[in-house]
Amino acid sequence: MTITTFSADKLQELTIKQRTNKLQGEIDRLCVTGGGELILTGGTYCVGSLRLGSHFTLRLAADAKLVFSTDITDYPVVASRWEGASQSVYRACLYGTELQDVQLLGEGIIDGQGVQWWQRFKSSALTYPRPYLCSIENSVHVTIAGLTFKNSPAWTLHPLNCQNVLIDGVTVINPADSPNTDGLDPESCRDVRIMNCQFDVGDDCIAIKAGTEDALTDIPCRNITISNCSMLHGHGGVVLGSEMSGKIQNVVITTCTFVDTDRGIRFKTRRGRGGEISNISVSNIVMDQVLCPVVVNAYYFCGKKGSEKYVWTKEMLQVDTRTPKIKNIDISHLTVTGIQSCVAFIYGLPEAPIENLSLSDSSFCLDSQSQPVAPAMIADAPEFAQAGIFIENTRQNTLRHLKISGAGEAVIHDVHNPGLLTQLT
């Protein structure tokens, strides 16, 4: 394997475009000759979008910082997905498609300089959606390990339609008020392992997705394992959806900590998505200062279509291909303190009840000083403080061995839940 090492001081006199061409040329040369490793050592490298290749490793030394340009002309337009819909976007800062065996390694920092992108987004000054910080698509054997990613223009890490993905020991830091800066979004991927990572972001920390009804193809996201990760801030600790039209299946989430996230484990979908979320296991999670530790919301109202009556009406509608389904969810051994709204908010569709959900062997302590607040994004959302479990439109579900302190009634709302087994301590 060929190894090339660059030092920032040797590229300092170049313009951003010249520096980009220099690094891109070396990546292309290594990949054309069968693959290799590019090592960036001491200093800061300011570049535009880089295209990765097969059998290639990019390694950043601990004293190396890869900083991405804020000049829109440094980002070609490519066909991809944006929030689950197929469309043209500005190419990711680090981008690759149809690759085999690609690795991003090291102890350095990758900085997307997102501030200007966020300002452009808020002022509607962009022709296409913002670039992801790293998007690897349609690829196999992808590894990202050890690096710190920060200030992403949009989603930070976005493997799309990839197989055999490892994300290990990665840190993602985006400001709390930065828009759409999810930490990690595996979308329509198979066989993904996420471990030993830390997230402190402005949106969802980890969000598992499978495209929307506006994606050109329905590709499932399945066989995902998340372990030993910590989440600080963010809208949700681990989120499934709302982009789930291709189906999300076989997910294991274990041994993680969530601190000051709006929601802990969060399922979100709505009519129109279709698809399915099924076979999800959540265990051994510690949470503190969360709005609501468990949210399963089939009335998620975000986005252009979220305000349509078809989405928000509580009437029973006809089941068709647009009807999302949620089933076979096992959540156990949660230890939660400082809950600000309610213990759990579980709201299915009357025509497609949430099936076979078990919440068991867990303890919940509510914040005695909290003020009423909505636990989920739903039209006409009820607000709660020091509240127990809200559950409606489910079938054959179980609430067992739950210790709830600081609330009045353990179950505050129980409507249309045939077969609900409740055994609270």
- What residue type is 92 in one-letter code? A
What is the C-alpha separation between 63 and 5, in angstroms, rounded? 14
User: And the tokens for 105?
Assistant: 């390694």
Edge-to-edge, what's the strand order for the sheet holding 292-297? 204-208, 236-241, 263-268, 292-297, 342-347, 387-392, 411-415
Strand-pairing partners, residue 32, are: none
CA dist list (Å): 143 to 167, 189, 327: 6, 13, 31
Closest residue by Cα to residue 364 from 382, 387, 397: 387
What is the C-alpha separation between 210 and 84, in angstroms, rounded? 7
Q: In 221-377, which residue ranges form alpha helices assigned H by DSSP? A: 309-312
Active site residue 203: yes
What is the C-alpha separation between 67 and 346, in angstroms, rounded? 42
What is the C-alpha separation between 193 and 54, in angstroms, rounded? 20
User: And the tokens for 177?
Assistant: 């008020």
DSSP assignments along 74-109, one per residue: GS-EEEEEETTEEEEEEPPSEEEES-EEEEEEES-E
User: And the tokens for 316?
Assistant: 């029973």
What is the C-alpha separation between 101 and 32, in angstroms, rounded? 14
What is the β-pairing status of strands 36-41 and 100-106?
Answer: unpaired
57 within 8 A of 23, measured Cβ to Cβ: no
Task: Identify the H or E element spanning 24.
Answer: helix 16-32
Catalytic choice (235, 262, 367, 413): 235
Active site residue 200: no
Catalytic choice (185, 203, 288, 367): 203
What is the C-alpha separation between 392 and 390, in angstroms, rounded? 7
The residues carrying an active-site annotation are: 203, 235
